[in-house]
Amino acid sequence: LRSPGGLDAEALAAALADVAARHEPLRTAFAERDGALHLTDAAPPVLVREESADPEARLRELAGGAPAPDREAPLRAHLLTGPDGRQSLLLALHYLAVDEWSVVPLFRDLTSAYTARTEGRAPDWEPLPVSYADYARWAREVLGDPDDPDSRAAGQLAYWRQVLKDAPAALALPADAPHTSVPGAGHVGFVLDEELHASVDALARATGTSMFMVLHSALAALLTAHGAGTDLPLGTMAAGRGDDRLADLVGCFFNTLVLRTDTAGDPTFAELLSRVRETTLSALDRQEVPFEEVARAAGLPPEGPQVMVIHHEQADLDRLEGGVGSLDAVPTGSTRARLTLSFYEPLGEGPVHCGLIHATDLFGAAKARRLADELQGLLRVVVADPEQPLSELFTAMSTRSDDA
């Protein structure tokens, strides 16, 4: 969170304590002993203040170190002040306790508490309708014992075993020669302009699909064209917040889903979209069983899919309540997937901001940029004529590029 300066550090520290008191995952430590997970109370997050001659470099350094979940709260807070007086509040969060959908309630509550503390009072929030512990108990009760054949968990696992049987464990990704022996993450940002966004929306409506399904299909087609094969287990993240009472909670609700995408037989893009639609809807109906159990049952790598497609709804967090500052994401320099397409869909008209996150030991920045450019070119071709077979799409892209 970037501010022109003047933040009240004492009020900010008190607000962080308020938020941790409101959301129990922010004050919980997760330790593994004898193969079992033990939850213990952790000290509330402490605001660390420091002056820095190079705040941007210091932010990147701090972002690369996640909290140690077995020893401390899963939230670290640093307030940096640069030579010009500008300030940056970095919150480093651990995925064991906080997911990306927690950003909205987290910063809404933080700014509300900060405003209250600067006025010399405690925040007057409405009590949360449920707690994360309530959700955890409910999830265990609903899913039941996976060893019980009549349980919901057993039924979902049976589906995943069938759907993911003999799925390839690794894809032949269009990687460069290794650039480094040290795994890291690079990021290529790009934007689908308002016109292309409108065209993708129109294609999604005409085919009964969604923007996620269109972009997922386009990435699958692109990978097939680059020799990754026609059986593509691509991952995504389900928010896991189907109940409205969970919307205001800070916690880890997301689950990884594997969407086994079939591009065989040279389908048209419209046919591929239909396949992706069926696969996605079926997966969402069985999204509750944790990915770790799915991977174990289906014989998948426990680290998850090599390629991910992640959809977010763009929240209006550019200016926060009370004029505290503006939000920005700081890269951590690491990634679990080898290639991730992440995009933020606006709530109405406007551009779609996308990012291609790539493992730097596989992809150089130039290759990642070419893939991002090809994906945009492919989308422009398919929205103009979704009835083209996949084999013809790249010829159409090349012709379009030459004409331009």
Run of H or E residues at 22: helix 9-22
Domains with residue ranges and CATH for the chain = 2-127 (3.30.559.10), 157-403 (3.30.559.30)
Cα separation, 126 vs 112, whole angstroms: 12
pLDDT at position 183 is: 65
pLDDT at position 180 is: 55
Q: For residue 2, which of 320, 314, 250, 312 has the smallest C-alpha distance?
A: 320
DSSP string of 273-305, one letter each residue: HHHHHHHHHHHHTT--S-HHHHHHHHT--TT--
pLDDT at position 321 is: 43
Are 217 and 273 in contact by the 8 Å Cβ rule? The answer is: yes
For the purposes of burial, counting CB atoms within 10 Å of the CB of 348, is it exposed (0-12), middle (13-18) or buried (19 or more)? exposed
pLDDT at position 64 is: 81
Q: Tell me the whole-structure pTM to 2 decimals.
A: 0.88
Are 142 and 286 in contact by the 8 Å Cβ rule? The answer is: no
pLDDT, one tens digit for every residue, the chain (404 residues): 888 888 999 999 999 999 999 999 999 988 888 878 888 888 888 899 999 999 999 998 898 877 888 888 889 999 999 999 999 999 998 888 888 888 888 988 998 999 999 999 999 999 999 999 899 899 889 999 988 999 999 999 999 999 999 999 889 998 876 555 566 888 899 999 999 999 999 999 999 999 999 999 999 999 999 999 999 999 999 988 888 899 899 999 999 999 999 999 999 999 999 999 999 999 999 999 999 999 999 999 888 999 999 998 765 454 444 456 677 777 777 788 899 999 988 878 889 999 999 998 888 889 999 999 999 999 999 999 999 999 998 776 665 555 54
DSSP string of 338-381, one letter each residue: SEEEEEEE-SSSS-EEEEEEEETTT--HHHHHHHHHHHHHHHHH
Are 179 and 364 in contact by the 8 Å Cβ rule? The answer is: yes
Run of H or E residues at 106: helix 103-118
